[in-house]
A and B are shown apart, each in its own frame.
Chain A
Amino acid sequence: MMAPPRRSTLAHGLARHLGLALVSALLAVSVIGYGGLYLATQGRLPGGFEFTSSLNNTMPLALAGLAQTMVVLTRGLDLSIGGIIDLSDALAALYLGTTAASMALASALILLAGAVLGFVNGALVAYGRLPPILVTLATLAIFQGLAIRILPQPGGAVPEGYTALLVNTGAPYALFYVLAMMLFWAVLRRSRIGIALLAVGDDEAAASSNGIDPVVTKLVAYTLSGLIAAAAGLFLAAQATAGDATTGNGYTLTSIVAVVLGGVSLFGGRGSGIGAILGAFVTTMIVNILFFAHIDPLYQSFYEGAFLVIAVVLAEGLGRLVRKRRARA
């Protein structure tokens, strides 16, 4: 009964699901809070329209959070996500064209561009053995510069059909995308590469001696991050029906907020993409609550920042408590 291994699989699994349980509870509480406030201020409960628009508004952040998860799982951090979203947003506004074929081709190329940019991050981190924060801070400056070069002023246009496909305001089709993202995570999590992501983030040396290549794993993580961030940019452009090379900037911070709220450990090796997606919805709900509580939107980043710190402290504290309990039992 003495000194059980701290990272036993049972405790490990529980701690992971604890994060999911916490964010689900948080989402439930914030939805109820939002509904209550809505009822108090509008005299009725939020309906289908509110549901659809909340889903649509959260899509870019849910994708950005999923992108950030890929890298955070390997004990990294991707500050360049905002820059990739900017670039993808700007490219979408300029090159989508008007025919279905051109839209499909341009979208595919933009996603490919995001993956390439992510790959560059990954190569610098994995081959160059450089600190992820500095690498992605530098590439953030480069990507933002490129985005402004491509689209100096907000403008361009996203065709109506494209917006209708990604951001349908009539019905909650976005639910389909959310489910697709969750399915993507569920499949990834069970694949070799998903296991490698968690293993490398948990203990790089141990993963390496178990035949997992940390360099390849990190390359894949950053490439996936870039790809998914580019998808977030497509959704953002579709939502605004035009391009803006700076609207993506904020997603660097909020993607970290979503990841942390979703119970993904910033020390790597623990967490779930589904958690990060739910974390994105919690963030949206908080913004909605602040709005209906008539809190000045100027204070929004104050609440986001404060909430981020509180969430990290609570999540790490609770996680440690549960792991200790499990280890003792």
Chain B
Amino acid sequence: MSGGGTRRRVLAGLSPTGRRVLYAYGATVLLFLLGGLVRPGFIQATNVLTILTVAMFVGLVAAGQSFVILIGGIDLSVPWVLNAAAILLATSSGGENAHAAAALALTLGMGALVGVANGIGVTVLGVPAVVMTLAMNGIMEGLTLGLSGGMTCGACASYAPPLVQGLAHGSLLGVPAPLWLWLAVIGLISFLLQATVFGRATYAIGTNLRASELAGLRVRATVIGLYGLSGLTAALAGIMLVGFGGQASLGMGEPYLFQSIAAVVIGGASILGGRGHYLGAVAGAICLVTLISVLLAMNMAEYGRSIIYGVIILVLLLLYGREARDG
């Protein structure tokens, strides 16, 4: 097992996607070291766990985004689905544990339903995914603002039920509860994508839509299901976020559109569909959130972060695009 030769052979043996996932984890380790240089204490266990917990919010949204990007689609409706979910959970439960279960079901159902509506728009009505989900984002924004009276409604000040707050803040065996939840989601999605007909159909549709139709796959149902899952994970992220922060606020979903797409791209999925894995998006989410934390530790202003995100996405797109053409 000596040195570089083996490593090169291992890297060459990986698929391009696998290699990118590895790069993302490698970049994360470097970023943590950089963070440690900028601010001692950055690499302490508590801080690392906090960063991972924050990465979970991005990771949940990126799960749904991965699903739709795998079939060459995109979900631009996540910001206001997430925001609506956070507000719906707080208002419908009124902050009471007694109503928590019903509120959770209602909120997750809302997310899934909005996603399904996106899927129907894309498949049945033939609206381009960008336009359908962009319009849905507007629809959810208008509904959320309108129904909550711009967050002036009586119930809008409600806190998340203590149960949900406990889920977001609790810990088990020294590991924060949200990370256990994330692990469960990772396991579930990996199983869904790798070991089920639904998952194989997803890759097939992303690779060649026409061929999938001819092969008798249930293309429409699969696509609608994938958009439904994207709505569901965005709603779940909203629930965890309101549990974490206690109260919902307007605009809390805005950063998650860009970050979820960035996480998927960093994780090496092809934006044209058919290639990628959720583990890549997980790596992307952790890498991105670590980068944000380092930038924050360096007191970088918001505009600077915005510019750096954009530049990183462009650089990665150029690198990966080149690799795809070479290979």
Contact = CB atoms under 8 A, between A and B. Distances in A.
B127 A313 contact: yes
Interface in B40-97: 74
Interface residues of B, number: 44
B310 A304 contact: no
B317 A134 contact: yes
Interface string B124-159: 011110111011111111110110011000000000
Given A296-B146, A305-B142, A130 B317 contact: yes
A220 interface: no
A133 B313 CA distance: 12
B131 A256 contact: yes
Contact of A131 (B142, B272, B306): B272
Interface stretch (A106-114, A139-147, A183-191): A139-147
A312 interface: yes
A149 interface: yes
Contacts of B125: 309, 312-313
Contacts of A130: 317-318, 321
Contacts of A141: 258, 306-307, 309-310, 313
Given A77-B130, A128-B321, A256-B134, A142 B142 contact: no
A309 B143 contact: no
B307 A146 contact: yes
A309 B313 contact: no
Nearest to A320: B126
Judged by DSSP, the binding face of A is helix
B271 interface: yes
B4 interface: no
A148 interface: yes
Contacts of A142: 306-307, 310-311, 314
Interface string B251-262: 000000010010
A309 B127 contact: yes
A240 B253 CA distance: 28
A302 B137 CA distance: 9
A138 B149 CA distance: 33
Interface in A259-285: 260, 266-267
B174 interface: no
Contacts of B271: 131, 133-134
Contacts of A152: 303
Contacts of A149: 301, 303-304, 307
B265 interface: yes
A298 interface: yes
A134 B74 CA distance: 10
Given A145-B304, A301-B141, A306 B130 contact: no
Contacts of B304: 145, 149
A84 to B, nearest CB: 13
B318 A308 contact: no
A135 interface: yes
Interface in A303-321: 303-306, 308-309, 312-313, 316
A141 B150 CA distance: 26
A305 B130 contact: no
20 contacts: A130-B317, A135-B317, A141-B309, A142-B310, A145-B303, A149-B301, A149-B307, A256-B131, A267-B128, A298-B150, A300-B142, A302-B138, A302-B146, A305-B134, A305-B138, A306-B139, A309-B135, A312-B127, A312-B128, A316-B126
Interface of A: 77, 124, 128-131, 133-135, 137-142, 144-146, 148-149, 152, 253, 256, 260, 266-267, 296, 298-306, 308-309, 312-313, 316
Closest 6 CB pairs of A and B: A302-B142, A305-B138, A145-B306, A142-B310, A141-B310, A145-B307
Given A305-B141, A309-B121, 14 more contacts: A134-B261, A134-B317, A139-B310, A142-B310, A145-B306, A149-B303, A256-B131, A256-B134, A299-B143, A301-B145, A302-B143, A303-B142, A305-B138, A309-B125
